[in-house]
């Protein structure tokens, strides 16, 4: 069984189309989160460690360029549907609050979400599309996305290459090791996200409640006491 997988990896690594496949899947994952972009990147990097083909630098560049293109496309989709979606959300109070919350979150934590959101299931596409929907500045999105895809491509490629080199001569074991580490990182990222979401918020009264209370107080002046005779 191991020999069969090893032979398959060697065949795939030697294909002249392998880098194109890495780039296309990295792009598709921005709109179709089920696309196996990271697993393909890791597998090709493991094969690179075993046979030297394709060169590791080429794998990183292909993955980063594909991921960048996919993120820009997802941002464009959000930007295209942004006006119509915003108008629809503004019709109801509940959905209006959701839209305003998304806008505030992107303005305050946009760079963190763009760079690290891709390590959570569905986080990459959700962040890129939301950034377009709320009108997140394109120049900032480009810069943070360039950093994000570079870090992601380096992470996946080095994980695969390092795992393949660690078990030299056994690409299948290297692939299993790399996938195990990647799964553990995804679990840790998910737990960190839950802990962050469960963190208690400030006990300060909401601004809207304070304003309503102030208006109520202003609108109901206290009655003057009775004059004593």
* 127 closest CA partner among 143, 140, 146, 141: 141
pLDDT, tens only, 72-110? 999 999 888 866 666 665 556 555 565 566 677 888 888
pLDDT at 217 over 50: no
Q: What is the pLDDT of residue 196?
A: 66
Residue 206 — φ and ψ, nearest 5°? -60, 150
Counting every residue written for the chain, the total comes to: 229
User: Taking the model in full, what pTM does it have?
Assistant: 0.75
pLDDT tens sequence across 168-179 = 777 788 888 988
List pLDDT tens digits, range 12-37: 777 889 999 999 999 999 988 787 89
CA distance 9 to 43: 8
Taking the domains of the chain in order of start, what are their residue ranges? 2-199
């Amino acid at each position: 069984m191991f020999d069969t997988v090893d032979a398959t990896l060697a065949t795939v690594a030697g294909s002249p189309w392998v880098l194109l496949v890495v780039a296309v899947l990295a792009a598709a994952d921005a709109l179709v989160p089920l696309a196996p972009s990271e697993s393909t990147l890791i597998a090709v990097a493991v094969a690179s460690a075993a046979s030297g083909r394709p060169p590791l630098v080429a794998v990183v560049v292909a993955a980063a360029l594909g991921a960048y293109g996919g993120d820009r496309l997802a941002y464009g989709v959000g930007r295209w549907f942004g006006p119509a979606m915003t108008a629809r959300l503004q019709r109801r109070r509940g959905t209006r609050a959701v839209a305003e919350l998304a806008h505030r979150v992107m303005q305050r934590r946009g760079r963190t979400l763009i760079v690290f959101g891709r390590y959570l299931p569905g986080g990459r596409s959700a962040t890129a599309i939301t950034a377009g929907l709320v009108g997140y500045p394109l120049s900032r999105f480009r810069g943070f996305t360039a950093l994000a895809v570079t870090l992601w491509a380096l992470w996946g490629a080095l994980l695969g290459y390092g795992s393949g080199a660690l078990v030299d001569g056994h690409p299948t074991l290297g692939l299993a090791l790399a996938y195990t580490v990647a799964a553990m990182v995804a679990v840790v990222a998910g737990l960190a996200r839950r802990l962050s979401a469960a963190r208690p918020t400030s006990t300060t009264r909401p601004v809207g409640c304070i304003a309503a209370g102030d208006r109520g107080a202003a609108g109901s002046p206290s009655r003057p006491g009775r004059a004593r005779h």
